[in-house]
Amino acid sequence: MFLELIDIAVRDKQPHPRLPGRITGHVRAVLSEDIGGQIQNHELAIPVWADTPQGATDADIDMALMLKAAGIIARLKANFRTEP
C-alpha cells in the first residue's frame, strides 16, 4: 500500500469563538492510494486549528492551517505503512 498527498487547500476558516488569536477550520486533502497497482483517490476534510500572531496575513494563516493538516497526514501515513 502506498499513500501520497496530491492536493491540499484550506476549505474554511474562522476565528475561535472564545480564544483570541486562534483560528479554526478545515483543510481539504486529497490522498492517492496504490494497492497492488490499483489507484484510488480519497478526499479528506481535516479539522485543524492554529494560534496566529496579531496582524497575520491570510496567506500566513492558510499556511499554518495546512502545516497542521500535513502533520496529521504524516502521522496517518506512518501508522498505515505496510511496506518495509
Residues 29-41: pLDDT tens digits? Answer: 999 988 888 999 9
Report the distance separating Cα 31 and Cα 8, nearest Å.
Answer: 9
pLDDT in tens, 32-79: 988 888 999 999 999 999 999 989 999 999 999 999 999 999 998 888
Identity of residue 71: G
pLDDT at position 34, please?
84
Residue ranges in the chain assigned as alpha helix (H): 58-80
User: What average pLDDT does this structure show over 7-24?
Assistant: 95
Give whole-number Cα distances, 7 to 15, 24, 51, 57, in Å: 24, 20, 24, 22
Written as nine digits, the cell of 40 is: 484510488
d(CA 77, CA 57): 30
Does the pTM exceed 0.75?
Answer: yes
